[in-house]
């Protein structure tokens, strides 16, 4: 009689990767369509196929209707900046972000364990947090709700009422009776735009999973070390994760740049009119990426206060002993000052206290804040040329430098 096969229990703490990306019905669909493999390969193929699925039918239908380059419309298809930024820039960036985020976050769970930040008594809670993140990532219901949200709210409410430009375009003609979708507009409204918005919303959902996981881990009493040389108690590996989301910030910046370009070129708006919009987007996205790490700020602040108190007491005891020995005449006969280990120990104690004193309560640097803000705003830089010619801009820049 053959023995029954053993049931292998899924243990997230022994898995090779912690991934926000490798799971879910859409991921499985891409694998079965040979647009991805188990390790997010075939990235270029996915970028090209998804972008062309959204963009190429619009070009063909617009050309058939005579709206590709001209016609009795204000914005022809090939002169619509938003089309290029949305489907040929933002979509490839969102697809590329999957591989980058996976590679940068895959060792997060292992780092918590290898650095022994999780107490043995809290290991079940940590494992539960990892398993919960995997369940959300693989949820069929969650992605179905995203599809429903995209069509019910993203298309019918947000885009048509707050984003769509109020002139005749290749996707809709304006008249006294209202807007009427063209053939290209039908594909745009019910295929291209929903697909793009689903990709965007799925990234918001992944960020929610990331925030929720970090929050659950932050509820554990971590074994942070105030004298750790990374100045964040041993959590520096989390500081580096924020740069994984750079492609997502670039995609948002490119999308806003396309929206503003259409309004500048075809409605007569000026770039300074959108200063608040740009500032709000940059601030929101920077907070969206850096904000999740702030859940560790209370523990870092507590660790710093405790470290200052404990190391301050230890330092006071040591320097008092050092003072009494070397400055108050209690040196043992024959012990020289030069070469004494007491001097080195005093220096080491001072260095340790300075490390504790310099410990940060936010697990990211000012450079990270400025870098993420600059990345988000970078796609909008070419719009400065709508305010002044390139030659004049270069002359002003050279005048500032020399």
Task: Examine residue 188 and state whether it is found in any structural domain, yes or no.
Answer: yes
Cβ of 60: how many Cβ atoms within 10 Å? 15
pLDDT recorded at residue 222: 94
Task: Examine residue 323 and state whether it is found in any structural domain, yes or no.
Answer: no
pLDDT recorded at residue 57: 96
- For the chain, helix, strand, coil in percent to 5 are 70, 0, 25
Total number of domains in the chain: 1
Give the domain extent around 70: 13-223+240-294
Confidence of residue 8 (pLDDT cuts 50, 70, 90): very low
Distance CA 96, CA 101 (A): 9
Task: Examine residue 261 and state whether it is found in any structural domain, yes or no.
Answer: yes
Distance CA 23, CA 202 (A): 12
pLDDT of residue 241 exceeding 80, the answer is yes
Task: Examine residue 400 and state whether it is found in any structural domain, yes or no.
Answer: no
Task: Examine residue 270 and state whether it is found in any structural domain, yes or no.
Answer: yes
Fill in the DSSP letter of residue 21. S
- Which of these ranges, 48-62, 72-86, 172-186, has the smallest mean pLDDT? 172-186
Task: Examine residue 365 and state whether it is found in any structural domain, yes or no.
Answer: no
pLDDT recorded at residue 327: 63
With a pLDDT cut of 70, the percent of the chain lying above it is 82
CB under 8 Å to 242, separation ≥6 — which residues? 289, 290, 293, 364, 368, 372
pLDDT recorded at residue 204: 95
pLDDT recorded at residue 7: 32
Task: Examine residue 307 and state whether it is found in any structural domain, yes or no.
Answer: no
CB under 8 Å to 365, separation ≥6 — which residues? 239
pLDDT tens-digit readout, 50-74: 999 999 999 999 999 988 887 788 8
pLDDT recorded at residue 16: 52
Helices then strands (H, E): number in the chain?
16, 2
Distance CA 12, CA 131 (A): 7
pLDDT tens-digit readout, 278-309: 999 999 999 999 999 999 999 999 999 999 89
Confidence of residue 160 (pLDDT cuts 50, 70, 90): low
Confidence of residue 82 (pLDDT cuts 50, 70, 90): very high
Determine whether 76 is exposed, middle or buried from the number of CB atoms within 10 Å of its CB (0-12, 13-18, 19+).
Answer: middle
pLDDT of residue 105 exceeding 70, the answer is yes
pLDDT recorded at residue 14: 52
Task: Examine residue 321 and state whether it is found in any structural domain, yes or no.
Answer: no
Q: Decide: 290 and 242 in contact? Cβ < 8 Å.
A: yes
Mean pLDDT across the stretch 369-391?
Answer: 88
């Amino acid at each position: 009689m053959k023995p029954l096969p053993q049931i292998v229990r899924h243990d997230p703490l022994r898995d090779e990767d912690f991934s926000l990306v490798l799971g879910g019905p859409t991921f499985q669909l891409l694998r079965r369509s040979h647009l991805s493999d188990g390790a997010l390969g075939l990235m270029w193929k996915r970028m090209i196929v998804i972008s062309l699925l959204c963009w190429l039918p619009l070009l063909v239908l617009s050309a058939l209707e005579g709206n590709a380059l001209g016609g009795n419309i204000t914005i022809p298809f090939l002169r619509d900046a938003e089309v290029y930024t949305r489907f040929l820039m933002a979509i490839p960036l969102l697809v590329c972000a999957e591989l980058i985020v996976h590679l940068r976050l895959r060792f997060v769970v292992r780092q918590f364990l290898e650095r022994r930040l999780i107490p043995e008594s809290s290991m079940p809670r940590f494992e539960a947090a990892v398993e919960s993140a995997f369940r959300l990532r693989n949820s069929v219901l969650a992605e179905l709700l995203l599809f429903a949200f995209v069509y019910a709210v993203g298309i019918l409410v947000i885009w048509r009422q707050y984003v769509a430009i109020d002139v005749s375009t290749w996707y809709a003609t304006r008249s006294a009776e209202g807007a009427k979708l063209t053939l290209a507009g039908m594909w745009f409204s019910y295929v291209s735009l929903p697909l793009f918005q689903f990709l965007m919303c799925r990234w918001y959902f992944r960020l929610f999973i990331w925030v929720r996981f970090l929050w659950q881990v932050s509820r554990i009493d971590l074994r942070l070390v105030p004298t750790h040389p990374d100045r964040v108690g041993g959590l520096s590996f989390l500081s580096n994760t924020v740069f994984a989301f750079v492609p997502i910030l670039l995609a948002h910046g490119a999308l806003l740049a396309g929206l503003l370009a259409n309004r500048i070129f075809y409605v007569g708006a000026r770039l300074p009119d959108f200063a608040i919009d740009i500032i709000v987007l940059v601030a929101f996205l920077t907070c969206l990426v850096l904000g999740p790490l702030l859940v560790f700020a209370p523990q870092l602040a507590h660790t710093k206060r405790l470290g200052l108190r404990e190391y301050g007491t230890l330092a006071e005891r040591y320097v008092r002993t050092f003072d009494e020995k070397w400055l108050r005449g209690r040196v043992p006969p024959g012990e020289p000052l030069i070469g004494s280990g007491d001097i080195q120990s005093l220096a080491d104690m001072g260095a340790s206290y300075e490390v504790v004193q310099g410990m940060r309560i936010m697990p990211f640097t000012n450079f990270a804040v400025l870098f993420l803000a600059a990345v988000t705003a970078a796609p909008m830089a070419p719009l400065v040329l709508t305010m002044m010619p390139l030659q004049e801009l270069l002359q002003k820049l050279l005048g500032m430098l020399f």
